[in-house]
Structure 1
Amino acid sequence: MRTLLFSALLAVASLLSVPAHAADYRAGKHYVELNSPVPVSQPGKIEVVELFWYGCPHCYEFEPVLNAWVETLPDDVNFVRVPALFGGVWNTHGQLFIALEAMKVEPQVHEAIFAAVHREGRKLATPKEMAEFLAAQGVDSEAFLKTYNSFGVKSQMEKAKKLAMAYQVTGVPVLVVNGKYRLDLGSAGGPQQAVALADHLIARERAAQ
């Protein structure tokens, strides 16, 4: 439902004009300014959070643009991925991401997981299926299963749920800049426009420091 709704919003947004200058960006139209700012994970740095789901086609399409943009971010910007946990397979995939992050192997397999789901049609909906897939990617399957079921991972899942609630997120992909501004591909006008808007909001936060 959430991805279908997002498809409709993105289609409408593509028909609308996209601001050509920073002065054209407006809160309430191109992004949402949160009523209650959310603390960042690294004080002193400008944080950009992406909320995503491995099963979301728009997240998959956004990946190449987002990854290229992240490579250009200066040292004063901290980029963080947070899985959206809306129940069911969303939670299963979120637990997968958090476990891999805890094992410090997530960057090595992130793109492979997206490709497996969207190009190969793999569900990756059970720990057993995940472990078998990850073994082929060079990840120790026993270590993965132990980490997947660990208390630490489950604690991080609770933290991710609370963050999504604080950000007032209802769909993905979403970017949150410095715990203050939330934007998505639909409101921004597309993937490239989303990172351009994020750049604008980062600059605003930098100037305010």
Structure 2
Amino acid sequence: MLKKLIVALSLTVLMPLSAVAQEWREGEHYDLITPSVRTANSNKIEVVEFFWYGCGHCYNFEPMVSQWKKTLADDVEAHGSPAVWNKGMELHAKAYYTAQVLGVLETMHPVLFQAMNVDRKRLASDDEIKALFTANGVSAEDFDKVYSSFGINSQVRQANSRARAAKITGTPEMMVNGKYRISTRKAGSQANMLKIADYLIEKERASASQKQS
């Protein structure tokens, strides 16, 4: 009788833990990308967030992603990749990479999100984007030098190719190490997207460790 009581108590303690534990399954919660997409740095576990400044869901997701990035270990490299499905989005992608090259991405990234989602600006022309940059401390000369450069246009083309290779269908979506795609629809929530990203990062870390041993 005592033995049965101990077993029953043990199950009572363990049940909440098992209920909390989440098993993330390929095909159900995230997708395998085939063929895999080449990453920028093979020495790091790369996480890419596909986004668009005009996407309200991306606007809500951005603060969560920013905080999440602060928790990442040194063997993980996370960065954004603007979606480019039309000419308007191409301008916004150019704005992202221009801010990155000028070293003002930390300032301009939230400014660009706010402009489109809060201030309801379309940012549908080069001049409108330039005005936003100059209003936030970037000289017109520096902006002009970078914005329409070969390097920026090349990065926009690469972003477009990356999204196509990952078979992105919406924003925000994430890609882990060029192998796995995470969408809100399959993850169930934006919070779950980050939990699945953590799970897949650990999966890649374990795989790399096995190869080395």
TM over 0.5: yes
Structure 2 partner of 1:174? 173
Aligned equivalents of 2:115 and 2:84: distance in 1?
A: 20
What does the per-residue CA deviation read over 1:150-188, in whole Å, with 9 as the maximum and x for residues that have no partner?
111111111111111110112111100000000011211
The AA in structure 2 aligned to 1:84 is A
Structure 1 partner of 2:204? 205
Question: RMSD across aligned C-alpha pairs, in angstroms?
Answer: 1.3
Q: Secondary structure at the match of 2:46?
A: strand
**TM alignment of 1:176-195, pairs within 5 A:** 176-195=175-194
The AA in structure 1 aligned to 2:142 is A
CA contact (8 A) 1:54 1:93 kept: yes
Identity %: 37
1:113 lines up with 2:149 in the alignment: no
The AA in structure 1 aligned to 2:77 is N
Aligned equivalents of 2:21 and 2:86: distance in 1?
A: 39
Structure 2 partner of 1:96? 95
Structure 2 partner of 1:37? 36
**TM alignment of 1:57-68, pairs within 5 A:** 57-68=56-67
**TM alignment of 1:14-93, pairs within 5 A:** 20-22=20-22, 24-93=23-92
Q: Secondary structure at the match of 1:113?
A: helix
Aligned equivalents of 2:130 and 2:123: distance in 1?
A: 9
When structure 1 is superposed on structure 2, of 101-110 and 67-76 the one drifting more is 101-110
How far residue 88 of structure 1 moved from its aligned partner, in angstroms, is 2.4
When structure 1 is superposed on structure 2, of 140-149 and 150-159 the one drifting more is 140-149
The AA in structure 1 aligned to 2:115 is A
How far residue 208 of structure 1 moved from its aligned partner, in angstroms, is 0.4
The AA in structure 1 aligned to 2:21 is H
Gaps of 5+ in 1: 1-18
Structure 2 partner of 1:7? none
Structure 2 partner of 1:127? 126
Gaps of 5+ in 2: 1-18, 209-213
Q: Secondary structure at the match of 2:90?
A: helix
Q: Secondary structure at the match of 1:114?
A: helix
Structure 2 partner of 1:8? none
How far residue 20 of structure 1 moved from its aligned partner, in angstroms, is 4.6
How far residue 128 of structure 1 moved from its aligned partner, in angstroms, is 0.8
Aligned equivalents of 2:130 and 2:166: distance in 1?
A: 32
Q: Which has the higher contact order (CA 8 A, sep 6+)?
A: 1
Q: Secondary structure at the match of 1:121?
A: coil
How far residue 142 of structure 1 moved from its aligned partner, in angstroms, is 2.3
When structure 1 is superposed on structure 2, of 51-60 and 35-44 the one drifting more is 35-44
The AA in structure 2 aligned to 1:140 is S
Structure 1 partner of 2:9? none
- The number of residues matched between the two structures is 190
